[in-house]
Amino acid sequence: MAVTVRLSKMPMRRRLVNTLTRVVVALGGAGVIAAIVLIFVYLLWVVAPIFSATNIETGLAYDLPAGDTLLVTTNETDEVGLRITRSGDATFFGVSSGRSSGFSSDLKNTEQANASVSDRSISLGRTLERVIEVAGHTGLYAAVDTDGAVTMLQASYPVAFDDDVRVIQPSLDYVFEDDWLEVEASGALDVYYGDFEVRIAKIDRRSLTIHQYRDAEPGFALELPRRGRLQLDTDYKRVLFGPRGQWLYLLGVDGTVEILDIARPTAPKSIYIGRLVPENRTATAVEPLLGRYSLLVSDDAGLVTQWFVVRDEFGYQFKSARRFELDTPAVRLVPEPRRKGFGAIDAAGHIHLFYTTSQRSLASADLVTEDVVFASIAPRSDLMLTAARDGTVQSYHLDNEHPEISWSTLWSKVWYEGYSEPVYSWQSSSADNDFEPKFSLTPLLFGTLKGAFYAMVFAVPVAIMGAIYTAYFMAPSMRRLVKPGIEIMAALPTVILGFLAGLWLAPIIEANLSSVLSIILVMPVGVMVCAWLWSRIPDGITRRFDGWYGLMVLPVLLLTIWIAFAIGPWLETQFFGGDSKAWFLENWGLSYDQRNALVVGLAMGLAVIPTIFSIAEDAIYGVPTHLVNGSLALGATPWQTLIRVVMLTASPGIFSAIMIGLGRAVGETMIVLMATGNTPVMDLNIFEGMRTFAANIAVELPESEVSSTHYRILFLTALVLFLITFAFNTLAEIVRQQLRNRYGNL
């Protein structure tokens, strides 16, 4: 009969403390798991949206005054919409309320413009032919009237606070003082404004005219234009400015395209003539993509193709990089204003969303209204507005946060604008707004593995061999010093290793490349010679030094390093023609960076040696002595015993040591950051640098905009790192637990 402890007799307080302690301690234990799960789940939670599906939802229909719509657009925050009609009336309307009242509008320079102001709309006072978006400048529009005069308009949406209520007072202003430019445009035209220069190109069948207004300052009058003219061989019906106004795309009736170089607008020069669609097809719509590097072309077979200029050895080529297929031909293409995506409206009344870089077909939906005469996508790409022939305006909500990413964009080659072929590239940001971000993780993964590989090539032999000697041969009194000594190296901050590698070691290696390379040969040979000489000394003397070789070999190592540096200059002239770096470039095609994989391999190797050494040493040292003694008793030499018995038994432990070391090398940040150039190149060349996941995060995350695609991709790389090391560590831990069981059985 067991003795029952009657806890009920204990004072309340003691019992309470006891229970409370148990609860708190149990919570603490669970807290460890909670922490690691939280890290994983949080990273996943940030990453998840980039793989979420795109949605199109039908929004409000707006009841605006009747009119033939030439433009509908919204402001930055999707609060105020603007419509301009053929009769020259501009109306602001509330996007979420659907009403056109509640704004007081004002047109500056009212008298000069001869425009009337009402409480909800403004009249430009002229009948308009069309309204187009100005190239090179988002948010500017050019209106063309029936007489061929052009003006540039800018809608602004200043926010004021009236009794703590946010009020937007939109206005539509002329950009330049002398509002209407009489350019006598009878055919098609396009307007570019950038770098304080306005360019207007008009095409009338075969004659092209370019007006160049220099020193264009908003709010001031434009100076008299300089004109350039060109007579062409074929008829063209449309003209579009290219990137930064340096090119002109001319589009013919039958799908021909001609590209002109107008770096000097007074002397345009043809650089390419070709076709956008096959002979038997016609182009149904052509629109430029953001930045105007690319043209999107839809044909009557339902194909939408992306074209851009590639410069190769044959000069300029206009290449079709990718295609999107539709069941029904697209009649209208709607580019996104801030990204390289676009919408397409087909003849059967559907909207489709696409993204070029990732070549994704994102979503489709039915149009609510028929006869769409105009469509646009809001600046933040979360709203689409369509205008029907009868004047009604309809909105569609787009849930389309991260279209530029797909699994294949992250890991496969992608054909970026202006590149002659698909490539792997990581280039996340640029000063340009119309820059196409390149988010291929492959170069980073490659760099991560490259760095880890070179580190392991150096660290594994040194650490494992060192562990063997320390655990198996070393005198105990020396081992007591050596083991903690090397383990202290694990505590050495990697920032110090990185600093020494980058600022001290890298210049030394660069100046003495042949010496450093010769160490690989000289050092083992030197040690061998020393061992041979040692074996010639009678046993009686040498036996006393058994177990102290590790210390005795130090002078030999220093001597070999000295020899290597002494023969370096001789090697340099003898084998490398006086310059080893040039020799490697000429003979093996290896270019040399000062901060390269060799430096990283040495520094990071040094950082992981203690980790591998310590665990491997424990595993070898833990091999039961009766196994060793048995082997020795059977007549095996110590070396045979080591190879056949000890190493075999300890191999799982050594494996786990290597895994943990690898995990550390993969995630090391500071050394890579400081000892390489951090260029995301894909080249195994040991004399070039790389960019790893970890270094990339350290460099880019502080500057990345929260919740942007870039931010989420950086979190994705952190998650990948987490998973890689998680796999290595869990594997190592499982192997180690099995090892523990095995030793238990022996």
Q: Is 287 in the site for other proteins (CB under 8 A)?
A: no
Q: Is 77 in the site for other proteins (CB under 8 A)?
A: no
Cβ contacts of residue 525 below 8 Å, gap of 6+?
A: 560
Residue 546 sits at the vertex; the CA angle it makes with 545 and 551, to the nearest 5 degrees, is 65
394 or 656: whose CB is closer to other proteins?
656
Binding residue count for other proteins, defined by CB under 8 A: 125
Residue with tokens 């894909």: 682
185 or 598: whose CB is closer to other proteins?
598
> Could you tell me if residue 112 is left (phi over 0), alpha (psi between -120 and 50 degrees) or otherwise beta?
alpha
On the 0-12 / 13-18 / 19+ scale of CB atoms within 10 A, 493 is: exposed
Distance (Å, rounded) from C-alpha 224 to C-alpha 181? Answer: 10
Among 444, 468, 615, 739, indicate the residue that binds other proteins (CB under 8 A). 468
Q: Is 31 in the site for other proteins (CB under 8 A)?
A: yes
Among 44, 66, 496, 525, indicate the residue that binds other proteins (CB under 8 A). 496
What sign results for the dihedral spanned by CA atoms 94, 396, 299, 292? positive
Q: Is 104 in the site for other proteins (CB under 8 A)?
A: no
Distance (Å, rounded) from C-alpha 437 to C-alpha 718? Answer: 19
368 or 557: whose CB is closer to other proteins?
557
H or E segment to which residue 582 belongs: helix 580-588
446 or 715: whose CB is closer to other proteins?
715
348 or 634: whose CB is closer to other proteins?
634
Q: Which span sits near other proteins by CB under 8 A: 8-16, 260-268, 342-350, 435-443?
A: 8-16
Q: Which span sits near other proteins by CB under 8 A: 23-31, 202-210, 287-295, 627-635?
A: 23-31
Q: Is 117 in the site for other proteins (CB under 8 A)?
A: no
Q: Is 35 in the site for other proteins (CB under 8 A)?
A: yes
Among 55, 579, 627, 632, indicate the residue that binds other proteins (CB under 8 A). 579
Q: Is 166 in the site for other proteins (CB under 8 A)?
A: no
Residue 348: both structure tokens together: 């059967």
91 or 494: whose CB is closer to other proteins?
494
Query: Do the beta carbons of residue 326 and residue 302 sit within 8 Å?
Result: yes
Q: Is 453 in the site for other proteins (CB under 8 A)?
A: no
Residues 679-718 that bind other proteins (CB under 8 A): 694, 697-698, 701-702, 706, 714-715, 718
Q: Is 423 in the site for other proteins (CB under 8 A)?
A: no
Q: Which residues of 307-337 are buried (b: 16+ CB within 10 A; e: fewer)?
A: bbbbeeeeeeebbebbebebeebbbbbbbbb
Q: Is 503 in the site for other proteins (CB under 8 A)?
A: yes
Q: Amino acid identity, residue 634? A: L
Among 295, 642, 645, 739, indicate the residue that binds other proteins (CB under 8 A). 642
Q: Is 65 in the site for other proteins (CB under 8 A)?
A: no
Residue 487 sits at the vertex; the CA angle it makes with 485 and 493, to the nearest 5 degrees, is 105
Residues 505-534 that bind other proteins (CB under 8 A): 511, 523-524, 527-528, 530-532, 534
Pick from 400, 319, 317, 408: nearest CA to 359: 408
Q: Is 677 in the site for other proteins (CB under 8 A)?
A: no
113 or 530: whose CB is closer to other proteins?
530
Distance (Å, rounded) from C-alpha 441 to C-alpha 718? Answer: 12
Q: How far is CA 503 from CA 159, 327, 433, 594, 678, in A?
A: 52, 61, 36, 10, 15
53 or 706: whose CB is closer to other proteins?
706
Q: Is 664 in the site for other proteins (CB under 8 A)?
A: yes
Q: Is 198 in the site for other proteins (CB under 8 A)?
A: no
Among 463, 522, 564, 739, indicate the residue that binds other proteins (CB under 8 A). 463
Provide the 10 A C-beta neighbour count for residue 606.
21
Q: Is 494 in the site for other proteins (CB under 8 A)?
A: yes
Q: What is the DSSP string of 415-426?
A: --TT-SS-B--E
303 or 505: whose CB is closer to other proteins?
505
Q: DSSP letter at 375?
A: E
Pick from 183, 211, 209, 179: nearest CA to 197: 211
Residues 602-641 that bind other proteins (CB under 8 A): 606, 609-610, 613, 637-640
Q: Is 645 in the site for other proteins (CB under 8 A)?
A: no
Q: Which span sits near other proteins by CB under 8 A: 92-100, 146-154, 277-285, 465-473?
A: 465-473
Residues 126-155 that bind other proteins (CB under 8 A): none
The alpha carbon of residue 541 and the mean position of all alpha carbons in its chain are separated, in whole angstroms, by: 64
